[in-house]
Amino acid sequence: MDQNLTYESAFNELKQIASEIERESVSVDVLADKVKRASILIEFCQSKLRNTETEVNKIIIQMELNAKKTQAGSN
Statement: residue 75 has pLDDT above 70? no
- At residue 72, the pLDDT reads 81
How many Å apart are CA 38 and CA 22, to the nearest integer?
13
2: pLDDT strictly greater than 80: no
pLDDT of residue 39: 97
pLDDT digits (tens, 9 = 90+) for 30-74: 999 999 999 999 999 999 999 999 999 999 999 999 998 888 877
Query: What pLDDT, on the 0 to 100 scale, is given for residue 10?
Result: 98
- Helix pair 7-22, 28-74: axis angle to 10 deg: 140
CA separation for the pair 18, 58 (Å, rounded): 34
Domain residue ranges of the chain, discontinuous segments joined by +: 7-74
Q: Supply the pLDDT for residue 1.
A: 61
